[in-house]
């Protein structure tokens, strides 16, 4: 099958045809490093990590760029409020984002450019826009003239009369709908020299400069959260087309993480930080939860939904580990047809997970019937499927947190023996023994959950 992706600009699902055969170039709008990352921030990282892994699995040479916005109004304001230098504030929170991505198994990008490292390219970009009549200088600021581009608003569907850029006030704008490419220097703020005076980048300019510098004037896929469609991505298109670049051929946007129906954001005060979340569940379980919904859908957060997803992941994990213990080493195999069809259909992760769980049920049946060869073949499939989703239970990454893998395996054997004794007692209707086993495990910090695939266990975690 051909990979098909929903292109926001076309408003339809399109066959993916890369600019260069065998190569996939992808740009993802990354973090504005103003504070501690929460699960709403990292959802796009996980969603498009799956895209990257699937492109890689399909044999593409993937060139994946994810930027860091390390200079903007929010960073300057937060740093000032906390009495810290702006560069220290940005660097501190950039490291926090890196730790969050690493903890959740998001692959490092091919390149991770910072806005402050591409000022020269931004100046060159503004030169091109000024020469082509799409930008103008006023009081040391440089603005983009939105009326100079006839297709402005095509991505978002905004009519020019309805445009509100929502940016901080500058001086000298000819039209309030114009947006800022470069901000004139203000006392006490960082600045860089330009032919039009010292200043600092506007938000939108950085992504056009970084993406085209690294991936070329035209590249395959541009990704980001749906909240970036306007004004950020609309303005990226405007300045890139205005400068003469073809820019992105496909636009992919992920939905928000919501709480009580509202987008998760710091301003609403309903954030759930990554460090706090990792006290509730393991990193692999959080990754599984955040990646389980279709990337374009909203993900409504609740503790119940989180723990339900974690239990679902443990069913997959338990099967793979049981096969490994009973049959021997489980290599990574190939995904099955149902899984491949689901991901080729606009990264349909929910259907792909259904295929994985169906395989686990078949594998458990084979394992219990004594057909170790069939169980091992299915487990190899499951490892491949979960690897594409970034949650392979046997991936060494998930034991990189200091956990002793041998100790974990030994604990699994011991708890498994107790659960078999409990299952035998339940079959004989010896409820006293069954309850005794469960209570003793609970006292040891082991939580037992009865599922259609048998009893599953996990170490209890305190919220």
Mean pLDDT by 10 residues, the chain (463 residues): 95 98 98 94 97 98 98 95 96 96 98 97 98 97 96 93 82 93 94 96 95 98 97 97 98 92 69 88 97 96 95 96 94 97 98 98 95 97 98 90 52 79 88 87 80 66 51
CA-based nearest residue to 77, from 270, 271, 269, 267:
267
Exposure string for 97-112, b = 16+ CB within 10 A, e = fewer: bbebbebbbbbebeeb
**How far apart are alpha carbons 393 and 385 in whole angstroms?**
11
As assigned by CATH, the class of the 4-254 domain is alpha beta
CA torsion angle 365 345 285 399 (round to 10): 80
Q: What is the pLDDT of residue 215?
A: 98
Q: Which residues contact 289 (CB under 8 A, 6 or more apart)?
A: 281, 305, 306, 309, 310, 313
Q: What angle do CA 387, 388, 390 make, to 5 degrees?
A: 60
Q: What is the pLDDT of residue 410?
A: 63
Bridge partners for 14 per DSSP: 5
Q: What is the pLDDT of residue 454?
A: 67
Q: What is the pLDDT of residue 463?
A: 46
**How far apart are alpha carbons 372 and 368 in whole angstroms?**
9
Q: Where are the domains of the chain?
A: 4-254, 404-463
Structure-block tokens of residue 338 = 């149902």
Structure-block tokens of residue 322 = 């049981």
The pTM score is 0.86
């Amino acid at each position: 099958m051909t990979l098909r992706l929903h292109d926001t600009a076309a408003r339809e699902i399109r066959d993916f045809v890369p600019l260069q055969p065998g190569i996939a170039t992808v740009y993802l709008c990354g973090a504005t490093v103003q504070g501690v990352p929460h699960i709403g921030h990292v959802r796009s990282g996980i969603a498009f990590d799956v895209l990257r892994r699937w492109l890689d699995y399909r044999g593409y040479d993937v060139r994946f760029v994810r930027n860091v916005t390390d200079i903007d109004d929010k960073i300057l304001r937060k740093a000032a409020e906390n009495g810290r230098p702006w560069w220290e504030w940005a660097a501190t929170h950039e490291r926090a984002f890196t730790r969050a991505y690493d903890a959740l198994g998001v692959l490092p990008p091919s390149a991770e450019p910072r806005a402050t490292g591409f000022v020269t390219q931004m100046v060159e970009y503004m030169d091109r826009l000024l020469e082509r009549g799409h930008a103008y200088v006023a009081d040391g600021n440089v603005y983009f003239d939105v009326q100079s581009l006839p297709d402005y608003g095509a991505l978002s569907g905004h009519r020019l009369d309805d445009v509100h850029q929502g940016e901080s006030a500058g001086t000298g704008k000819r039209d309030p709908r114009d947006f800022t490419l470069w901000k004139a220097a203000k006392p006490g703020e960082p600045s860089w020299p330009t032919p039009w005076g010292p200043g600092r980048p506007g938000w939108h300019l950085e992504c056009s400069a970084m993406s085209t510098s690294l991936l070329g004037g035209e590249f395959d896929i541009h990704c980001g959260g749906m909240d970036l469609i306007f004004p950020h991505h609309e303005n990226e298109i405007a300045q890139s087309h205005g400068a003469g670049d073809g820019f992105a051929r496909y636009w992919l946007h992920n939905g928000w993480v919501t709480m009580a129906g509202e987008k998760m954001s710091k301003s609403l005060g309903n954030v759930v930080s990554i460090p706090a979340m990792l006290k509730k569940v393991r990193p692999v379980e959080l990754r599984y939860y955040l990646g389980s919904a279709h990337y374009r859908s909203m993900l409504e957060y609740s503790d119940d939904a989180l723990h339900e997803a974690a239990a679902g992941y443990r069913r997959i994990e338990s099967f793979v580990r049981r096969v490994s213990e009973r049959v021997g080493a489980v290599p990574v195999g190939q995904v099955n047809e149902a899984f491949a069809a689901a991901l080729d259909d606009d990264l349909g992760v929910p259907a792909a997970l259904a295929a994985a769980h169906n395989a686990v049920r078949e594998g458990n049946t084979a394992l219990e019937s004594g057909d170790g060869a069939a169980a091992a073949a299915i487990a190899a499939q499951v490892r491949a499927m979960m690897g594409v989703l970034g949650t392979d239970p046997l991936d060494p990454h998930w034991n990189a947190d200091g956990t002793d893998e041998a100790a974990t395996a030994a604990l699994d054997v011991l708890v498994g023996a107790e659960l078999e004794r409990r299952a035998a007692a339940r079959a004989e209707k010896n409820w006293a023994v069954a309850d005794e086993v469960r209570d003793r495990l609970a006292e040891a910090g082991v939580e037992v959950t009865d599922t259609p695939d048998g009893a599953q266990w996990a170490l209890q975690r305190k919220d």
